[in-house]
C-alpha cells in the first residue's frame, strides 16, 4: 500500500495547483490514509463465486402504474396547469426559442 504522508499530499496539491495550509495537509493525510486502509480491507475479502450486481439491492426496479388524472379547466376555460407557469403564451407554457 502507498504510504500517505505530507510530502505526497503536497505533491498532489502542487500538481493540482492548490494551496493547502499545514492543517489541511495533515487532515488530508489522515482522511486519505483512512480511505486507503478501508479499500485495502475490502480488497482482502474473498469474493470467489459471487456474481457482480448491477444494483446495490437484489431484484429489479419497483415500478408503479402510471395514473392519468385529468385537471378540470378553470371557469374561464383555460387549463388549470397554467397557474404554475412562469409565463403563458397562446394558452400554453412559454419556453425559450431554441432554433433561430
- Does the predicted model carry a pTM greater than 0.95? no
99 alpha-carbon distance from chain centroid: 31
Average pLDDT of the residues in 31-36 = 94
Q: Could you report the per-residue pLDDT of 46-73, keeping only the tens digit for each?
A: 999 988 877 777 666 778 899 988 878 8
Q: 50-57: list long-range contacts, CB under 8 Å, 24+ apart.
A: none
Q: Flag whether pLDDT at 12 surpasses 90.
A: yes
Domains of the chain: which residue ranges?
A: 6-43
Task: Find where cell 378553470 sits.
Answer: 74
Q: 27-33: list long-range contacts, CB under 8 Å, 24+ apart.
A: 29/4, 29/5, 32/4, 33/4
Q: Which CATH number fits domain 6-43: 1.20.1740, 1.10.20, 1.10.10, 1.10.238?
A: 1.10.20
Dihedral Cα 68, 69, 75, 78, nearest 10 deg: -30
Distance CA 21, CA 42 (A): 31
Which pLDDT does position 54 carry in this prediction?
75
Amino acid at each position: 500500500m502507498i504510504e500517505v504522508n505530507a510530502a505526497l499530499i503536497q505533491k498532489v496539491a502542487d500538481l493540482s495547483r492548490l494551496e493547502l495550509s499545514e492543517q489541511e495537509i495533515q487532515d488530508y493525510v489522515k482522511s486519505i490514509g483512512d480511505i486507503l486502509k478501508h479499500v485495502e480491507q475490502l480488497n482482502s475479502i474473498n469474493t470467489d463465486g459471487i456474481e457482480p450486481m448491477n444494483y446495490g439491492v437484489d431484484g429489479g426496479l419497483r415500478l408503479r402504474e402510471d395514473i392519468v388524472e385529468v385537471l378540470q379547466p378553470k371557469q374561464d376555460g383555460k387549463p388549470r396547469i397554467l397557474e404554475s407557469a412562469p409565463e403563458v403564451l397562446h394558452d400554453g407554457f412559454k419556453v425559450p426559442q431554441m432554433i433561430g
